[in-house]
Amino acid sequence: MKHVTLLFALLATASVASEYVVGYGDTLSDISVHYYGTWEKWEDILMANPDLRGAEYLVPGMVLQIPNVTGTPEGLSSSSRYVTEIPAGAVLIRSSEPILSRIQRESAGFVSYSNLDYEGHVLSTNAEEDGMYRHLTALPGDIIELDFGADQGVEAGRVYHILRECEEVEDPETGNKGNIIRVAGVCQIESTTPSTSIAKVQHCYLSIVEGDMLVPYHAAGDIRVQNEPGVDRGLLWVLGFRDPDRTCAYTYDVVYLSAGSSQGINPGDVFTAYTPSEQVRDFTDELLFTAEIPIAEVVVLTTEARSCAAMIVSSRTADLIEVGDKLYLSRSQVD
């Protein structure tokens, strides 16, 4: 396979504090906050990496030199180089493009083949003052009541993901049946009683309803990128979509796939989706199978044991991804 070689000049001097491998969604401001506690040092990082033309040119897999700055770094020289090999035809997404942002990963949802381990449910979506019109759903800024409280160890300030169990799906290969679990939103506890809690909705991806489940909030981790050709992970299938109203998926939509961490799938793995082969008759009336045509590439956002959520990052044809389409690994990000 041909490769495109990207060279990134790095700086190796006494003023360099460490190296950082750029992941999806990273910005120089975020990296500055991580190392210095303030976004204001992003220009110092930019100056320490002269091959980086601007803040908007970060590419996943790039290695940055992080200067040990008190002001503008001085005496830097390019004495070493870092080489990243990317398969020809690979889709390169600039890191600063937010399509794989933390919010996208935290709201991706998943497919569950077993009962969820949740802490409680939404008891009421209208926990404001007495006499108000009863709302059947809650949106950002609304107050909701939960059916667990101080006796279960809940404290003010804790943050929870709000989940909803949705339609059933079936793995075409194994026949296993599970349910799509969608992330309805995020809430933060404001007060508790022994058996209930009051929380404010912070983010909302679906209108929150009574009976939605609560699990502790966990921030999404970074997706590390190597852009190397991957080993075979086997065949995957599209099980469903994050958007419950979709019958097919577009670029930047999230889809659920039929394999996960137990099959070696990792966040950052890239898969190519293909149209299914069809049986047709040729001019001699002989039965033939049509070719499988690549239609899109997807990047894995999150994984469960037997499923994963992935975002469509490029389309190759006018065809759209549908439930039952098959995918093969294009390149693995962590091998």
Q: Which CATH number characterizes residue 299's domain?
A: 2.40.10.340
What was the pLDDT predicted at 69?
64
Smallest CA-to-CA distance from 206 within 278, 137, 276 is with 137
Q: How far apart are CA 240 and CA 91, in angstroms?
A: 24
Whether residue 101 lies inside any domain: the answer is no
- pLDDT of 273 strictly over 80: yes
**CB–CB of 144/136 below 8 Å?**
no
Q: How far apart are CA 66 and CA 20, in angstroms?
A: 7
Q: Judge whether 104 lies within some domain.
A: no
89 and 188 share one domain: no
Last residue of a domain, one of 216, 237, 271: 216
Per-residue model confidence (pLDDT) at position 227: 52
Type and span of the H or E element at 283: none
Comparing 4-8, 35-39, 110-114, 193-197, which segment has the lowest mean pLDDT? Answer: 4-8
Report field, pTM of the whole predicted structure over 0.75: no
Out of 183, 216, 249, pick the residue that ends a domain: 216
Tell me whether residue 102 is in a domain: no
Pair 266, 285 in one domain = yes
Same domain, 172 and 79: no
Give the bridge partners for 326, in sequence order. 237, 274
The token pair at 243 is: 């958007």
Are 48 and 67 contacting, i.e. CB atoms less than 8 angstroms apart?
A: yes
Structural domain that includes position 172? 110-216
Burial letters for 41-59: b for 16+ Cβ neighbours within 10 Å, e otherwise? bbebbbebbeebeeeeebb
**CATH code, 210:** 2.40.10.410
pLDDT at 267 over 60: yes
> In this structure, are 132 and 146 located in the same domain?
yes
Specify the pLDDT at position 74.
39
Q: Are residues 156 and 253 in the same domain?
A: no
Residue 131 lies in a domain: yes
E-assigned strand segments in 136-225? 143-146, 159-170, 177-192, 197-204, 213-216
- Is 184 in the same domain as 133? yes
152 and 83, same domain (yes or no): no
Q: Is the pLDDT of residue 4 over 50?
A: no
Domain-located, residue 40: yes
- DSSP state, residue 236: E
The pLDDT value given to residue 14? 34
What is the sign, positive or negative, of the torsion defined by CA atoms of 108, 114, 119, 122?
Answer: positive
Q: Are residues 46 and 120 in the same domain?
A: no
Boundary (domain end) residue, out of 72, 96, 120: 96
| Number of domains within the chain | 3
- Does residue 88 sit in the same domain as residue 42? yes
How far is the C-alpha of 185 from the C-alpha of 138, rounded, in Å?
A: 10
Q: Are residues 208 and 278 in the same domain?
A: no
Non-local (6+) Cβ contacts of 56 within 8 A are 94, 96
Answer whether residue 84 shows pLDDT above 70. no
Q: Are residues 209 and 226 in the same domain?
A: no
Asked, for residue 103, whether it belongs to a domain, the answer is no
Residue 297 has a pLDDT of: 83
Asked whether residue 291 is domain-assigned, the answer is yes
Both 212 and 227 in one domain: the answer is no
Residue 105 lies in a domain: no
pLDDT of residue 335: 43
Check residue 59 and give its pLDDT.
Answer: 76
Whole-number Å distance between alpha carbons of 82 and 6: 9
CA-to-CA distance for 136 and 254, rounded, in angstroms? 27
Q: Structure tokens of 84?
A: 């990243």
